[in-house]
A and B are shown apart, each in its own frame.
Chain A
């Protein structure tokens, strides 16, 4: 199975400051169809996961543009340009290129 490794696992941030989460895969996530199926989810406390970003950098409808995704191959990043209080929660990456799909361990974002 493809191993997804996130870092850091805990990320204290100051309101209004940027934040960045890394997700690395144990093998390339480029699919034979040419797409790269790397997704980012946000899970706020007490809520179910919500998809933010799919195919590395496509933002879901309603997701603030302060969230952006980038990367290629085995190295991916989720960036929050200016952290707001509502961004507190755990963020997970998911690879959907190789079966079985696998999640990263999660990164907990909290306010300093």
Chain B
């Protein structure tokens, strides 16, 4: 059974940092592009970032470029999102997801990030 388990969310002040983690199991993690999708309270889904299978290349939505850094450790079947200079508008549930052939087949349960003073 495929599982993606996120952790690391919480309450942080504006300008602060958080590091999200995603532990994968039940599929061949190193063969998949991986990414994060977020959902602000009461809003829709927004792609945040994704990373190639070998970690050589990543892409980000414009609103987080220069502030968020995506990385992965294929030996540990894990994905990480380092979030710096957080803003109130970054408040959302962050979902870890796999990417395959133009779609997101697998999703985690999400971790809530709240940016507030």
A interface, CB within 8 angstroms of B: 31, 35, 37, 39, 41, 48-51, 54-55, 60, 90, 92, 94-97, 99-106
B46 near A103: Cβ-Cβ < 8 Å: yes
Residue of A nearest to B95 (CB): A48
Residue B26 at the chain A interface, CB threshold 8 Å = no
B102 near A103: Cβ-Cβ < 8 Å: no
A101 near B107: Cβ-Cβ < 8 Å: no
What is the predominant secondary structure among interface residues of chain A facing chain B?
loop
B interface, CB within 8 angstroms of A: 37, 44-47, 59, 61, 95, 101-105, 107-110
Q: Which 10 A-B pairs have the closest CB atoms?
A: A37-B102, A96-B102, A39-B103, A103-B45, A54-B103, A106-B44, A48-B107, A96-B103, A48-B110, A105-B44
A102 near B47: Cβ-Cβ < 8 Å: yes
Bound Cα distance from A55 to B103, whole angstroms: 8
| Residue in A90, A94, A105 with the greatest tally of chain B CB atoms within 10 Å | A94
A residues less than 8 Å from B45 (CB atoms)? 41, 49, 92, 94, 103, 106
Bound Cα distance from A95 to B101, whole angstroms: 11
B44 near A92: Cβ-Cβ < 8 Å: yes
Bound Cα distance from A99 to B45, whole angstroms: 16
